[in-house]
Amino acid sequence: MYIIPAIDIIGGKCVRLTQGDYNQKKEYHDSPLEMAKRFEDAGIKRLHLVDLDGAKAKKIINKEVLSSVTSGTSLKVDFGGGVQSDEDIALAFELGAHQLTGGSIAVKNPTLFESWIAKYGGEKIILGADAKDRKIAISGWEETTSMDLIDFIKDYHAKGISYVICTDVAKDGLLQGPSVDLYKEILQEIPNIKLIASGGVSSVKDLEELQKTGVYGTIVGKAYYEGRISLEELASF
């Protein structure tokens, strides 16, 4: 199981939101590059980089941060937040992103999202499947659709998607444990999907539980930044 630290960016700084709420923001570090280097030095290979300013503006805002992290480290960066046009996805890859995560766009503009899968390949595009009570949630989780989570993932898997980041909105940023049963169910239904768990991790025990489910990777954010899990413990995975 890959450990994938998350760096969320507002105003060029590392922050975390609680349950996607911009009013519940906590700053952790001035330099995303310095933070990324810490992860790299610990032997971590991947990074989940989210442009929260971009998510609001619906276009990439923190270009310099993406560029500095991809050129200043060897981390495989999956980038998300605000990529909603052909120009922006081309720019993200140009700036060194290894993969691109699309969530709301996959719901609101499936034709465009499918064209990206066709152009860049299912290995390069990650489906962001955020769920609230098993229904797909979009637009920073402000909107819950009537789409069933597992059906949504199945549909895009059939269209060529290999990687899925699944966040249970109810768990995110609360440090109350991840949705282990939900991930087990997804993997039972779609066994060959590369499922990345996100949200709720609070301890090494949570990571061990997730590893047993067979998820491909787990995104770790607040638990590390709040000192619940050390860098050495993350590196041990």
SS3 169: coil
For 171, the 3-state DSSP assignment is coil
pLDDT of residue 142: 67
- The answer, as to whether pTM is greater than 0.85, is yes
DSSP E strands in the chain: the ranges are 2-10, 13-18, 21-29, 46-51, 76-80, 99-102, 125-132, 135-138, 143-148, 163-168, 194-198, 217-220
Of the residues 53, 130, 168, 172, which is catalytic? 130
| Whole-number percent of the chain with pLDDT over 90 | 83
Give residue 139's pLDDT: 67
The CATH number given to 2-235 is: 3.20.20.70
Distance CA 107, CA 94 (A): 25
Confidence of residue 84 (pLDDT cuts 50, 70, 90): very high
Residue 41 annotated as catalytic: no
- Residue 140: per-residue pLDDT: 63
Q: Are 197 and 219 in contact (CB under 8 A)?
A: yes
Q: What is the pLDDT of residue 116?
A: 98
Higher per-residue pLDDT: 218 or 22: 218
What pLDDT score was predicted for residue 145? Answer: 85
Tell me what the pLDDT averaged over the chain comes to: 93
How much is the average pLDDT of 162-173?
86
194 pLDDT more than 90: yes
DSSP state of 174: S
Q: Which ranges constitute the DSSP H helices of 97-217?
A: 104-108, 110-120, 149-158, 180-189, 204-213
Q: How confident is the model at residue 23 (pLDDT cuts 50, 70, 90)?
A: confident
- Lowest mean pLDDT across 25-29, 39-43, 98-102, 219-223: 25-29
Active site (annotated) includes residue 51:
no
Q: What are the structural domain ranges in the chain?
A: 2-235
Is 63's pLDDT higher than 80? yes
Q: How far apart are CA 210 and CA 185, in angstroms?
A: 13
132-160 pLDDT, tens per residue? 889 998 866 667 889 999 999 999 999 99
Tens-place pLDDT, residues 173-193: 677 899 999 999 999 999 999
